[in-house]
Structure 1
Amino acid sequence: MTTLPLVDAGQRDLVGSFPAFDPDQDDLKDFRRTLVEGTTSLLNSASVSYEERTIAGPKDAPQVRVLLFRPTETETETQAQTTPAILYIHGGGMIAGTPDMQAGTLHRLAQETGALIVSVDYRLAPETPFPGGLEDAYAALVWLHTHAGELGVEASRIIVMGDSGGGCLASATALLARDRKQVPLCGQFLIYPMLDLRTGGPDAVSDDPTTGEFVWTRAQNRHAWAAVRGTLGEDDPRFGYLSPAFMKDLSGLPPTIITTGSLDLFRDEDVTFAHRLWQAAVPTDLIVYASAVHGFDLLASPLAERAHRDVVEGVRRLLA
């Protein structure tokens, strides 16, 4: 079946803007290049300036590159004032993408929320399977918290945020922060997060054929999860950090916002995760956008602008 008639009318002609990737035929390096080029163009990221730093990575691992997006100071603000901060983790299924490609969005978000945004250039699979990318993200969180004073950040007002595969890493980073007790988070914002490695495969908890036709497909999802998982067994105690849908205890997490689309492959796993957070007494908002595919917020349209306004409002609430 084709679900194109179900796609938001303002985006129907745009869903082909994203690069296609057939894991059985296409080269991953080509997909990585076209994803970065295409997203950079969609978000006007090449015209945005930012600060680039290299920070200490996980133990016995390379350093981690991070990009800093600072809000513009107003005339009434002074250098002595502190700002909240967002640790942002980019999408790409944990097998592709860079923080640079979203520079346009992150620059705008920093201006509209007044938050310093630190975006992480984590290592990708399959070259670096779990837990490499996650530990890179967590190292960036620890660095942000430890250097809060130097960065002009209020250490008690830090959230983690990510989209798609970055949403998985953001969720897992929040779980690590809870369990390692090094960094107190005041929220997590997960944008159509990739949380359940069963999705798109024979063991999928649900498989609605109206989801997953565009942008991120079942075949891509199976390929990405196999690359990230590597040889990790389901009986490994770290399995819930790999695929947060498997984390048995979700209590003690910070207030959470999850957004997804009704045509997104991840819709059902995102709704299920929100339900489990409610059961664990975690304050959680869930927004499911009608007629929205994966990555819909990147496609210039009234729907994308509505989603952006919701993101800005949600970030402000989490950081309040």
Structure 2
Amino acid sequence: MTTRHLVDPALLPLLEMLPTRDLHAGTLMETRALMRERLGSAPLAAPDAVLHVPGADGAPAVAVRLFRPPGVASPSPAILHIHGGGFVIGAAAMNDAANAARAMRHGAVVVSVEYRLAPETPFPGPIEDCYAALAWLFAEAPALAIDPARIVVTGESAGGGLAAALALLARDRGLPPLAGQVLTYPMLDPASPDSANPSTGEFIWTRGSTRFGWEAMRGGRPIASENAGYFAPALATDLRGLAPAFIAVGALDLFLDEDVAYATRLSHAAVPVELHVYPGAFHGFDLVAHAAPALRMADDIAAATARFLGEYAVDSSCAGDVRVIN
């Protein structure tokens, strides 16, 4: 079965530019090299600083890229961004332009994490790197002139999964409450390659690539039950007390079912959650930035981020509300 007839016409050019193929151990180095080549030729917005913050015990320092908007009164809000790439590819620098724009749009300090990639560094290395960056952000809030009560975590794909896992880990380790979590087509569940939904996962990021990403993150080792939620948020048993969440995903994305399920579980745990499902959209569809579905998602993400960073207060009368746009 093909789902090409379900794709929004404005997104079809991307399928011609990025032919779908499974990522696996045999193509990983080639794919990374290709991404580095594209990154090197792309116009980028330079960060205000690249810093190295203390890593977890026994782990190396973590590089973070910092973007600070000019002329903003302090203390300003902050956004911790985690890049995507199936846990195995990608780099923080590929989001430099987007993060510079985030900083300007929201008057926020944006910090992007250069977490270590699997399979060279499997779980818990990547999430510990993200936690180290968040803990540093809270600890250095006065020096950075940011408001620790207005820190949002955000990410796309595997970065969205790491952001969701980070919200769980921050809650359980007693960091101050996050203001929100903004999750763009997050990768949450190792079972997604076995999804029975025939309308998802055909394009861009496939079942095979997803299976490889989770296997690389697992590193050939069993995951202890007490750490399962930090490995894969869909496996977390207790979602109570998490930061308000925004989740966006395309209707043709392999992660559709797990993202909808996670939003529903957040609702059941009395966590405010807003869920958007975009018809005709596959994984990574926002690479066609001018297409109507991408523009809608960008506006929705910006609105949610602004709300979390601003005077967002949880109304107990609507806690756990799920908003679905079809």
Q: TM-score normalized by structure 2?
A: 0.90
The residue that corresponds to 2:15 in the other structure is 15
Letter aligned with residue 201 of structure 2: G
Distance 1:38 1:9, change over 3 A: farther
In the alignment, the residues of structure 1 paired with residue 231 and residue 10 of structure 2 have an alpha-carbon distance, to the nearest angstrom, of: 35
Deviation at 1:264, TM superposition (A): 0.3
In the alignment, the residues of structure 1 paired with residue 229 and residue 13 of structure 2 have an alpha-carbon distance, to the nearest angstrom, of: 38
Structure 1 stretches of 4+ moved >4 Å:
36-41
Deviation at 1:211, TM superposition (A): 0.8
In the alignment, the residues of structure 1 paired with residue 110 and residue 19 of structure 2 have an alpha-carbon distance, to the nearest angstrom, of: 27
The residue that corresponds to 2:314 in the other structure is none
SS of residue in 2 equivalent to 1:118: strand
Deviates more, 1:46-55 or 1:19-28: 19-28
Letter aligned with residue 3 of structure 1: T
The residue that corresponds to 1:34 in the other structure is 34
In the alignment, the residues of structure 2 paired with residue 296 and residue 107 of structure 1 have an alpha-carbon distance, to the nearest angstrom, of: 21
In the alignment, the residues of structure 2 paired with residue 295 and residue 37 of structure 1 have an alpha-carbon distance, to the nearest angstrom, of: 19
* Contact kept? 1:19, 1:35, Cα under 8 Å: no
The residue that corresponds to 2:302 in the other structure is 312
Q: Does 2:180 align with 1:187?
A: yes
The residue that corresponds to 2:318 in the other structure is none
**Structure 2 spans left out of the alignment, 5+ residues:** 311-326
Deviation at 1:64, TM superposition (A): 0.5
* Contact kept? 2:24, 2:212, Cα under 8 Å: no
> What RMSD in Å do the two structures reach over aligned CA positions?
1.7
In the alignment, the residues of structure 1 paired with residue 19 and residue 79 of structure 2 have an alpha-carbon distance, to the nearest angstrom, of: 28
Query: Percentage identity across aligned positions?
Result: 46
The residue that corresponds to 1:47 in the other structure is 44
* Contact kept? 2:164, 2:233, Cα under 8 Å: yes
SS of residue in 1 equivalent to 2:118: coil
The residue that corresponds to 2:97 in the other structure is 104
Offset from partner CA, 1:167-211 (integer Å, 9 cap, x none)? 11101100011100023211111110000001113xxxx321211
Q: Does 2:95 align with 1:68?
A: no
* Contact kept? 2:239, 2:266, Cα under 8 Å: yes
* Contact kept? 2:77, 2:151, Cα under 8 Å: yes
Letter aligned with residue 117 of structure 1: V
Offset from partner CA, 1:184-241 (integer Å, 9 cap, x none)? 211111110000001113xxxx321211111100000111100101234255321121
Map 1:1-320 → 2, pairs under 5 A: 1-18=1-18, 20-23=20-23, 26-38=26-38, 46-50=43-47, 51-73=49-71, 77-78=72-73, 81-201=74-194, 206-233=195-222, 235-300=224-289, 301-320=291-310
The residue that corresponds to 2:323 in the other structure is none
In the alignment, the residues of structure 2 paired with residue 39 and residue 18 of structure 1 have an alpha-carbon distance, to the nearest angstrom, of: 15
Letter aligned with residue 122 of structure 1: Y
SS of residue in 2 equivalent to 1:11: helix
Q: TM-score normalized by structure 1?
A: 0.91
Deviation at 1:19, TM superposition (A): 6.6
Letter aligned with residue 176 of structure 2: V
Letter aligned with residue 54 of structure 1: H
Letter aligned with residue 209 of structure 2: Q
Distance 1:15 1:109, change over 3 A: farther
SS of residue in 1 equivalent to 2:10: coil
Distance 1:36 1:261, change over 3 A: farther
In the alignment, the residues of structure 1 paired with residue 135 and residue 31 of structure 2 have an alpha-carbon distance, to the nearest angstrom, of: 31
* Contact kept? 1:18, 1:35, Cα under 8 Å: no
* Contact kept? 2:24, 2:209, Cα under 8 Å: no
* Contact kept? 2:22, 2:206, Cα under 8 Å: no
Letter aligned with residue 61 of structure 1: A
In the alignment, the residues of structure 2 paired with residue 24 and residue 117 of structure 1 have an alpha-carbon distance, to the nearest angstrom, of: 32
Offset from partner CA, 1:238-267 (integer Å, 9 cap, x none)? 112101111011001011100000000000
